[in-house]
Amino acid sequence: MGKALAVSRTAVWKQLQKLESIGLQLESVKGKGYRVAEDFELLDHKQITSHLSNPAQRQLHQLQIHQSLDSTNKQASLAIAQQHSKQESATGTVILSEYQTSGRGRRGKQWISPFASNIYLSIVWDFEQGATALQGLSLSIGVAVSRALRQLGVQAVQLKWPNDIYVNHKKLGGILLEMVGDPSGHCTVIIGIGINVAMPPTSGCEIDQQWTDLKSTLSQSISRNQLVALIINHSFDVLADYQDQGFASYRDEWQAIDAFRGKQATISTAKQSISGTLLGVDKLGALQMQLENGQIKNFIGGELSLRLVEE
């Protein structure tokens, strides 16, 4: 009997370790065992759609919620291929996952994706004018996400060119765009959005920069389902108008919450590093930097690294 009990305890402990390894936060209850945190919430199709605006409900093609994926952007690519095989569009498709085994950020960096803790979301949208017309899209989606966060009560949202979301000088989330199709004509864009909602400390230790989450920012729990709906609402609003209006109509709003404007910074590429004063962005979304000689240099997105100069 004693041996069987020991084996049983070992099996339970292994299962607990497995759950904790994917980021599920467990609480010990004296004399009873373990439980998930009281504010634990799974993503739910019905709850999300109940918070969608009327325009977003009409524009939503499909809402997929997965327990685990390589990445939501990769699943979005599969959804596009599936629809194209039937000669149909996947625009308006939204992919969500509780957990990502191979989440990605810009420049191939890993996106830490613990289970049921944050938002991992991808949106699929068709465009007709090719890559050139989409130059400022990631910045415009940043504006959409900032609107969603402010609606939820997060007032100190800032944006870092080209695709990071900051609160109190720490990274809260990011945006990753990928394109499928003709770069000069009809194409489909996958918009990946990641937001830290309640990052477990054990997962946070793996992040190589200063970060924050909504739970610590607001000092309270928030509904991930409501946040997802707000992000969809505001992102769909931007996407519906972007082909006609471009980034220019969102530039002033982006400039107003630019985290690095007026600061000394260094931009690094594979070949060189350039330092100067950041002036914000132009009407196409290119980052503007004033060099020491007074010259103003523009940078477009790509394999660039932007860092503040340490004072």
Please identify which of the residues 171, 224, 251, 261 carries the catalytic annotation.
171
**CA 86, CA 53: separation in Å to the nearest integer?**
29
- Paired with 96 in beta bridges are 65, 121
Task: With beta carbons less than 8 A apart as the criterion, state whether 74 and 89 touch.
Answer: no
Of 14, 18, 283, 307, the catalytic one is: 307
The answer to whether the beta carbons of residues 94 and 49 sit under 8 Å apart is: no
Counting every residue, how long is the chain? Answer: 311
147 included as an active-site residue: no
Q: E strand or H helix at 287, and its extent? A: strand 287-290
Q: Are 232 and 60 in contact (CB under 8 A)?
A: yes
Residue type, 241: D
* Among the listed residues 168, 136, 176, 152, the one whose alpha carbon sits nearest the alpha carbon of residue 257: 168
- Catalytic-residue membership of 9: no
Helix, strand, coil content of the chain in percent (nearest 5):
35, 30, 35
* Catalytic hit among 106, 147, 160, 224: 106
170-181: strand order across its sheet: 62-66, 93-97, 119-127, 187-195, 170-181, 164-167, 157-160
Four-residue CA torsion sign, 131, 133, 136, 137 = negative
Instruction: Examine the residue annotation and report whether 104 is marked as an active-site residue of this protein.
Output: no
* Cα 195 from Cα 185, distance rounded (Å): 31
DSSP letters for 24-40 = --EEEETTTEEEE-TT-
CA 16 to CA 34: how far, in whole Å?
A: 9
List the catalytic residues.
106, 171, 307
